Amino acid sequence: MKSSAPAAGVRAAAPTAVPFKFYAANGRVYASNVKDKLIDLGRLDRDGAGYAYQLDADEKIAAGGFESPEHALAAIVGAITFLFLDGQFTALADVGGERPDLIDAPQIHVTLDALGKGEPAIAADV
């Protein structure tokens, strides 16, 4: 019978799935990571009969017409990559003592693939 444990001196590969939580509160979109760092990503507003979002880091990451905050949060997750979100966690400070009350806030829990496809920030002709 073979053991599934790695051989001595060999490390198991790190999992590529990274969990995050996205929240909608006080007209803002927040995200938290496994270290419980909470960052403010941008706006989430009532837009007529629906909801619309606009992320602060990139004006092109915006859309509207969502029936609920959760649908808007899911659309945000579909519009960004792990690398984009990881960059936001690196660049932005934790909201710190100004943390909103998120207990009853609309939220979604997602897992992003750290090795997933990422779009280049700058096109290069080689």
Q: Give 4-44 pLDDT, tens digit per residue.
A: 555 566 555 556 789 999 999 999 999 999 999 999 999 99
Confidence (pLDDT) at 16: 79
User: Would 98 be classed as within a structural domain?
Assistant: yes
Write down the pTM of the prediction. 0.80
Q: What is the DSSP string of 12-43?
A: PPPP-EEEEEEEEETTEEEEE-TT--EEEEEE
Q: Which residue has the tokens 């053991």?
A: 3
User: Would 7 be classed as within a structural domain?
Assistant: no
| CA–CA dist 68, 73 (Å, integer) | 9
User: Would 11 be classed as within a structural domain?
Assistant: no
User: Would 12 be classed as within a structural domain?
Assistant: no
- Report the Cα 123 to chain-centroid distance in Å: 24
User: Would 79 be classed as within a structural domain?
Assistant: yes
User: Would 6 be classed as within a structural domain?
Assistant: no
User: Would 109 be classed as within a structural domain?
Assistant: yes
User: Would 40 be classed as within a structural domain?
Assistant: yes
Q: Quote the number of domains for the chain.
A: 1
Per-residue pLDDT band at 89 (split at 50, 70, 90): very high
Please tell me which residue, 119 or 29, carries the higher pLDDT value.
29
